[in-house]
Structure 1
Amino acid sequence: MSVFAKATASPSRSKRTLLSGLAIVGASALVLAGCATDGGDTSTGSEGGELSLKLGTALPVTGNLAFLGPPEIAGTEYAASEINAADAGIQIELIQGDSGDTDNKAYETEIPRLLGEDVSAILGAASSGVSLQFIDQVVGAGVIQFSPANTSAAFTEYDDKGLYFRTAPSDVLQGEVLGNLIAADGHETLGMIVLNDSYGTGLAGYTQEAFEAAGGEVVAQPTYNTGDTTFDAQISEVLAADPDAIALITFEEVSTMLPSIVSSFSAENLYFVDGNLANFGDEFAAGTLTGAKGTLPGLSVDTIADFTSALNEFYVGSGQPELEEFSYAAESFDSVILLALASLAAGSTDSAAIAEKLQEVSGGSGNGEKCTTFADCAEIINGGGTADYDGISGPITFDELGDPTEATIGVYQYGEDNTYSAY
């Protein structure tokens, strides 16, 4: 299954416009073509002018997206190790933190702690709803906020002082892909269970828009809140509407919902999204999810097999358990690489200076020379040239709003073992 959509960069941060595109159903992955206190120390280190870039992370160690924490954290650590090993004039210090969720509110103590460490950027959160809880605090301090996984369209128009960036595409695009996928599968009516936050309601809205534009009808759309533990009312409402298909726009609460849903609804008519697409394995009986589908921004694991293999080797080698999920690992890796390249190009660890160079090193401006590793890009920059980094997660190419103009969205399907693979 392939979907192609082209995104157009907006002219300025003061006038943001939503990405738009034409979704075409076609065969295998979905491709979308589509700054501190005063942020950080401006010194360049004591030896040979080497930059010392301090980055904080606010990724989900706890909360309803905790299953995304390991691949994202591993991605940041792996990138930092590659940068430091390159010895190209910049060294990274990572200070890991926990974003939590809007129920446990780990970010309320973690963000002040990270800002107190005088970081130049904070990577996170994974959840759009969580990022919206602290974006004003971060950019208000003059620090870059850079998320590898935020997909809410709310960030495109956000007054972020030019300090917010993300390597994940807007849900305007995922919603279009999902809605068209459900319609292309022959479904005429759709029920949705939706997380009541910026991510959930936004993605549901764009999915509904695409599905209805294709001639379908959304017949039920109950919501729930972060921290809820029972979902009987929402499940009953959707099943009572007798839809052809059900889209679950949730986080890990889906594990609680699924037994009640699949007991009376065929799994082959279920649709997952990036917030809950996970390898459930023996969490459920074999065959429980056979035929269910889902969407996820990013290239398939098969496409980036060399990266995921190297990432796992690095992660296990650092004393951590083997990774079972890889969602947003590549985007996390690319986030750190881009920040380091922008710092190197700016010759500074000042947040505002780094932010000024992020579009350039991503290829969004400057007509730079293509490169695909930190070492190669750093060599271009150190030689007086302009680097255009094409990452593991895709070309990225930031527009003037800090949104990627090129990204990939995959369609996946569950097998008998309750794990997913490219459809």
Structure 2
Amino acid sequence: MRGRNVSPPVMDWEAIFRRPVRYPSPDHRWSVGNKNRTFSSMTPPLPRHPQNPRAAAGCAGTAGPLHSFFHRRLHHYQQRERMAMIRLPLAAALFGSILMAGLPAMAATPMKIGAILSLSGALEDYGAATRNAAELAVAQINAAGGVLGQPLALNIADDRSDAQGAVEAAHKLAGSEKVNAFLGPMSSAAYLAVAGTVAIPGGLPVVSPSATAASIDSLDGKGLIFRLAPSDLLQGAALAQVARDKSYRAVGVVYPDNDYGKGLADSFGKAFAKQGGKVTAAVPFDPKQAGSRGEVKAAAGGRAEALLVIGYPVNGAILLKQALDGGLFNKFLLSDGLKDPSLIEAVGGQFLDGVSGATAAPAPDAEGFVAFQKIYAGKYGDSSPVPYVDRAYDGVMLLALAAERAKSTEGAKLKDALRDVAGPSGEAIGPGDFAKAKQMIAQGKKISYAGAAGPYGFDAHGGVSGSFAHWQIQDGKFETVRVFTPKP
């Protein structure tokens, strides 16, 4: 074969490029021992060099057009394959990130709010209306797509208007029902008990629409405690202003022997003294046995002109009847907990004309409050619910918006987001605007939830300030005299 002109074999390039690439060793040679041209290895033969037939094209030390052409094609093919392997996962990751960026955040499980409400006992009239308001908020939220792509759940438990009942309810909600936050409890004593034993240790935000005791500010809440009604430091000042409006100079006080009663009686006494008034006697009573120890008679000593009754509808009615029946008082001041139609029914409207009180409230013509009343009346047929019902609605809305802002239902993230969505900066959000607020949050815009009774701006203790309504009973109904902002 030496000296013969041997043309290179015709190559099937597609077949070569489909095969796994194998690099020949430098000493690989054609074997010419027989006419069948067996090979020294199982590797398929490479094309022979056009100038040196004994040398395989592509062997070390060889050169030529076919050699160069083959290597260029092989190098190009391998380079293209390597780039494709790099680009494919990168493209998939980029496409996935773009797709996910356009979608709202999704929660693994639905958000659950545990509502601890007083559906029986001394505050049951408040509890029923509060439940209605909370359920109204949940219905609006779910109609707008829920929270983080999941329906919002409201798990309701009755605390029986009792602190121990509230703790039992909280343990159940946080334990077996695994709620993400609490709405309520409604009373200050129950709120303090739940916050201290369940919510704070468990890292769960606790938002009360109506707990007002000044002692709540002394809790080490770790940023988890929030209340939507102003402190009794302000309510005491508001009641003192109402007493001055009524020209009372000497007032007796009866109050429930709990955090709410003690704190409010104390703040009223201090504010009233600043205005030149005098508390002639301040007498505590057992909330479950009001009037059993002659508390009203004790408060009548010292020539008091009027009696301030601090309490709830059931025990308040007992004390008012004792005062009227015994001829001890015919002028009264009432705390926020007594602004309930059931009190007028129990005592008789004809005996209470002109009786006044003070309750945290927005202006009657405030846009958010008017909108809420319209929504509430459309659902339940009552446009004048009891105090703090509007704040229960707002509490649910605030928690839902906080989850949207945090993109999480974890307590540690909710507590910070609550302050953000209720902060003073951002576009004001009112009742019924959940869909709008959620869209703005998704777009990275700031909101300021004012809701039905806001605006809210939580202080370092999770409390709020606000205005109060001086109201009085006239012809068996509660009428607003004026709305003002007291100074403690």
TM-score by length of 1: 0.82
Is residue 192–residue 204 contact of structure 1 (8 Å, CA) maintained in 2?
yes
Following superposition, the deviation at residue 310 of structure 1 comes to 2.1
Kindly indicate whether the alpha-carbon contact (under 8 Å) linking 1:62 and 1:101 is maintained by their aligned counterparts in 2: yes
Residue aligning to 2:376:
311
Q: Is the 8 A contact 1:193 1:234 kept in 2?
A: yes
Q: Please tell me whether residue 55 in structure 1 is matched to residue 118 in structure 2.
A: no
Say which of 132, 137, 161 aligns to 1:101. Answer: 161
Task: Structure 1: give runs of 5+ residues left out of the alignment.
Answer: 1-46, 317-321
Equivalent position amino acid for 2:467 in 1? T
Q: Which residue of 1 aligns with 2:417?
A: 357
2:174 to 115, 121, 125: 115
- Of 397, 401, 407, the residue aligned with 1:341 is 401
Which whole-Å CA distance do the structure 1 matches of 2:221 and 2:186 have between them? 17
Which AA in structure 1 matches 2:172? R
Matches within 5 A, 1:21-170: 49-51=105-107, 52-87=110-145, 89-90=147-148, 91-102=151-162, 105-116=164-175, 117-136=177-196, 137-170=198-231
Deviation at 1:326? 2.5
Q: Contact 1:369–1:388 (CA<8 Å) still a contact in 2?
A: yes
Corresponding residue for residue 271 of structure 2: 210
CA distance in 2, matches of 1:378, 1:235: 52
Verify the 8 A CA contact 2:236 2:264 in the aligned structure 1.
yes
> Which residue is equivalent to 1:182?
243
Q: What CA deviation, in whole Å up to 9, does each residue of 1:59-102 have, x standing for no partner?
A: 11122222210221111111111111112653310001112233
Hey, what does 1:257 align to over in structure 2? Answer: 319
Helix, strand or coil at the partner of 2:457: strand
Deviation at 1:301, TM superposition (A): 6.0
Structure 1 runs of 4+ off > 4 angstroms?
A: 300-303
CA distance in 2, matches of 1:339, 1:186: 43
In structure 2, the residue corresponding to 1:125 is in which secondary structure? coil
Q: What's the CA shift for 1:402?
A: 1.3
Q: 1:346 to 1:422 in 2, by over 3 A?
A: same
2:245 and 2:379 mapped to 1: Cα distance?
40
* Counterpart residue identity of residue 63, structure 1: G
Q: Distance in 2 between matches of 1:282 and 1:82?
A: 33
Measured against aligned partners, the alpha-carbon deviations of 1:315-349 in whole angstroms (never above 9, x if no partner) come to: 46xxxxx6874311110011111111110000001
Higher relative contact order (CA 8 A, sep 6+): 1
| Residue of structure 2 equivalent to 1:238 | 299
Once the two structures are TM-superposed, the CA of residue 305 in structure 1 deviates from its matched residue by 4.1
**Aligned partners of 2:235 and 2:360 also within 8 Å:** yes
**Secondary structure, aligned partner of 1:397:** coil
Q: In structure 2, what is the Cα distance between the partners aligned to 1:164 and 1:360?
A: 15
> 1:360, 1:386 → 2: CA distance?
8
Cα deviation digits, residues 260-308 of structure 1 (max 9, x gap) = 21232554x2011111221234433341100000111122666534422
More helix by share: 2
- Compute the displacement of 1:175 (Å): 0.5
Question: When the two structures are aligned, how many residues end up with a matched partner?
Answer: 366
1:178-235 per-position Cα deviation (integer Å, ceiling 9, x unaligned): 1122123211111000111111110111100011111111111110122214345101
Counterpart-to-counterpart distance in 2, 1:286 and 1:249: 19
Are the aligned partners of 2:242 and 2:358 in contact in 1 as well (CA < 8 Å)? no
Q: Distance in 2 between matches of 1:324 and 1:368?
A: 30
- Look up the SS of the partner of 1:68 in the other structure: helix
Distance in 1 of aligned mates of 2:349 and 2:400:
44
The amino acid across from 2:193 in the alignment is Q
Contact 1:148–1:168, Cα closer than 8 Å, also in 2: yes
> Whole-Å Cα distance in 1 between the matches of residues 266 and 153 of structure 2?
40
- Give the structure with higher Rg (CA): 2
Question: For 1:88 and 1:70, how far apart are their aligned partners in 2?
Answer: 24
TM alignment of 1:217-236, pairs within 5 A: 217-231=278-292, 233-236=294-297
CA distance in 2, matches of 1:63, 1:300: 30
Which structure's residues are more often strand, by fraction? 1
Aligned to 2:234: 173
Check conservation: 1:146, 1:335, Cα contact below 8 A.
yes
Alpha-carbon distance between aligned partners in 1 of 2:329 and 2:257, rounded to the nearest angstrom: 25
Name structure 2 gaps, 5 residues minimum.
Answer: 1-102, 482-488
Overall identity of the aligned pairs, in %: 26
Q: Secondary structure in 1 aligned to 2:337?
A: coil
Q: C-alpha displacement at 1:156, in angstroms? A: 1.7
Query: How far apart in 2 are the matches of 1:89 and 1:191?
Result: 50
8 A contact 2:339–2:386 mirrored in 1? no
Contact conserved, 1:88 with 1:378, CA < 8 A, in 2?
no
Hey, what's the Cα distance between the residues in 2 that align with 1:88 and 1:98? 25
CA contact (8 A) 1:312 1:323 kept: yes
| Contact kept? 1:412, 1:420, Cα under 8 Å | yes
Correspondence for 2:451: 391
